[in-house]
Amino acid sequence: MSPIKQTLLISGAAALLYIGLRSLPDTHCAFLHADHQPILFNGVEFCGVNEEANYYQPQAMQFPVKLDIQLQGQGGHLRLLKEDGRPFTDYEIGISHTEKVHLHLRQISGRSDYIHLHPQSKEEGVWEFSFSEAFMAGNPGGDFQAFVDFVPLRTGRAMLAQSSAQWQHPAVNPTSRTSRNQIKSLQMTTDKAGESAYIRVQLKSSHETGALKLMPIMGALGHAVLFGDPKENPGYAHIHPSFEGREYDPQPTLSFRLRLPKAGQYDLWININDGAEDYLTAPITIKP
């Protein structure tokens, strides 16, 4: 074989290997985490002992992406705009946490609420999403903070974007968020800003004699999001559970490791699956 043919074959194989590796989905724990040492148990991936999430303020970090989002009716749509104004399209974004785009919508007026959505590409650069009936029920609409995380295939690194939006949804009988399950207890190994904490949340079924069986959601047994004050400290931490052995108890405990942000009041939202999605929330105080 001539040197030219050998060079072409080697170059072609390298190119195919590069494309294949870049197309692989991002893993659950590596996304937005400094280190990735996963633990697999019962076919579910948990974050490793050395992994911790961080609190981010996407606008302050100045990622080269702008979030353009509109809410109307029973959902909305968004575009992720590059520095040149062109939108990210479906073929430019990889899979992370089993989805391509993760939208965290925090409602800050009308009522306190949160929903985790996965917009789908419907046309070039436009991603559409719909609200669940549980989210819309009794929701009077209001002001929202929107956070998006995704991984461009070109770089393989997470990108974050932040924006605000309003949703007009008149409700005849406005009600607060209701959950099927309950938070039995919440414990933190430390509440000092800047320290690494395990936040252990024990959950229970609303039925006193019934067990709560957690099922995978986005490849994990639960997801948590921490929000700061919407005016003074707008940001979020997207956290996945670390395995500690009590996740399959009748009253399961999920453990989330987080580098605590600055002192203040925060809202923790837990997103689980007990056969259908459920959201639970609890306040957290971080001290200086």
40 near 19, Cβ under 8 Å? Answer: no
pLDDT digits (tens, 9 = 90+) for 81-128: 999 999 999 999 998 878 999 999 999 999 999 999 999 998 889 999
C-alpha separations of 149 from 56, 67, 159, 280 in Å: 11, 10, 6, 21
User: Is the predicted pLDDT of residue 17 greater than 50, yes or no?
Assistant: no
CA distance 95 to 87: 17
Please state, in angstroms and as integers, the Cα–Cα distance from residue 264 to each residue in 55, 56, 188, 260, 286, following that order: 13, 15, 15, 10, 5
CATH assignment of the domain containing 244: 2.60.40.10
pLDDT of residue 155: 87
Domain with 79 in it: what CATH number? Answer: 2.60.40.1940
The pLDDT of 140-145, averaged and rounded, is 96
**Residues 17/24, Cβ–Cβ less than 8 Å:** no
Mean pLDDT along residues 52-62? 91
- 33 domain-assigned: no
The answer on 159 and 72 residing in a single domain is yes
Same domain, 72 and 111: yes
Would you state the pLDDT for residue 62? 87
Q: 88 lies in which domain range?
A: 58-168
Same domain for 208 and 151: no
The domain total for the chain is 2
